[in-house]
Amino acid sequence: VPCPKAMAFGPCGGVGSDGGCEVDGHLCPFVSALAVPTIERTPLPLHLPLPTIIVDVVAPTHWNMEVRELWHQGADRLVGSVALIREDVVARRPRNEGRIRSTQQVIKLLQRAGVPSIATVTGRNRTVESARCHIGQLRDAGAVAIHCVTGDYPRASSNRSTVCFGAEAMTLAAAAVDEGVPATVAESPASPGFRAHRVKVKQQAGASLCLLNHGGDASNQISFADHCRAVGVTIPLVAPVPMVASKRSALALAGRPGVQLPHGFLDAIIDAVDPAAEGLLAAYIFMRELAASGRFDGINLSGSAVGASSTGQLSIADNFIRRAHQTWFGS
Ligand code: SF4
């Protein structure tokens, strides 16, 4: 059965724990294959201070503030961190009064505030050639790196017939290097397949840094980092920290393909009287363990800090960012 994402360098991170394809459940043909064909590129220098704190930047979930003002306030809170810009960061909503309509605008706005951006490019509905063109536009806008991921398959409710994958993490990483911009990649430690070897292969394809996906407890992440080093991975590894402050955002994160949250994390948020405080405490404990291990070159605050309003959302993200800086840099 062919791969629904048309991957040549699988498996993707969404393969199920039983080895089933994330799309239709058939046995993923890549799971048991150690040797994959490789693309060879030399990773470009990534000009980021290490360790680093990388923060997921998503489209606003609330629209009770002028959009441009919302982005400016968000940029202020990101100073000292690195923005990881999701591909769908610019929501097409009727109330986009501030006219922030492209990822390039977001990158430039953040850059003016002194915040470097890593821009995500997926292989969804894109050929390698069209990806190369888009990568060039993001580079010219000021992105310090391109986050090269195959991308999730749309949910069953989506119109699948309009989706096709013409590029994937490996080919995108090589394309970024060819365009003269460093590539970052992701890997899912908890997913079946030879995941540490995949990080090595992505490094060979030109990746300069790997962001790990949520893969269980801190001890699981530490073991995975050790495994990566044992197979020859030399690029920086960045560990994920859940940034959730509500039952809704916790469930959304837990539902992403390839995600395994730390033991007891989801139940603690769901049962909490104050999920925001519980999420922050859990993140702090998790970050302390990761920092003490000395295995990681930074953390990725990953998830969407969904709040009751635009300002609530910003304030929640601000709390996580401050706590991360205190934990990693004592500031
Ligand atoms: S799990 Fe991913 S790599 Fe494997 S067949 Fe499905 S889409 Fe392709």
Tell me the per-residue pLDDT of 265-311, one tens digit each, with 9 for 90 and over: 999 999 999 998 999 999 999 999 999 999 999 999 998 766 556 77
d(CA 233, CA 227): 9
What does the pLDDT read at residue 312? 78
Residue 31 C-alpha from the chain's centroid? 22
Structure-token pair, residue 122: 């997926």
Angle formed at CA 60 by CA 58 and CA 61, multiple of 5 degrees: 110
Residue 62 pLDDT: 63
Give the residue-averaged pLDDT of 93-112: 80
Return the structure tokens found at 89.
């960061």
pLDDT of residue 24: 87
Q: 1-32, pLDDT tens digit by residue?
A: 789 999 999 999 989 889 999 888 999 999 98
193 pLDDT higher than 50 = yes
Question: For position 152, what pLDDT does the model report?
Answer: 86
- pLDDT > 90? residue 234: yes
How many other C-beta atoms are found inside a 10 Å radius of the C-beta of residue 160?
Answer: 13
Task: Render pLDDT for 141-178 as a digit per residue (tens, 0 to 9).
Answer: 999 999 999 998 876 445 555 689 999 999 999 999 99
Measured CA to CA in angstroms, residue 88 lies from 60, 68, 151, 209, 283 at distances of 11, 17, 12, 22, 25
Residues in contact with ligand 1 (CB, 6 Å cut-off): 3-5, 7, 10-12, 14-15, 21-23, 28, 30
For atom 3 of ligand 1, the residue with the nearest CA is 11
Q: Which of 1, 9, 15, 170 to mutate to test the pocket of ligand 1 (most atoms within 8 A of CB)?
A: 15
Mutate to test the pocket of ligand 1, among 9, 23, 191 (most ligand atoms within 8 A of CB): 23
pLDDT band at 91 (very low <50, low <70, confident <90, very high): low
Closest-CA residue, ligand 1 atom 2, reads 12
Q: Cα(128) to centroid of ligand 1, in Å?
A: 19
**Interval 49-73: pLDDT, tens:** 889 999 999 876 666 667 778 888 8
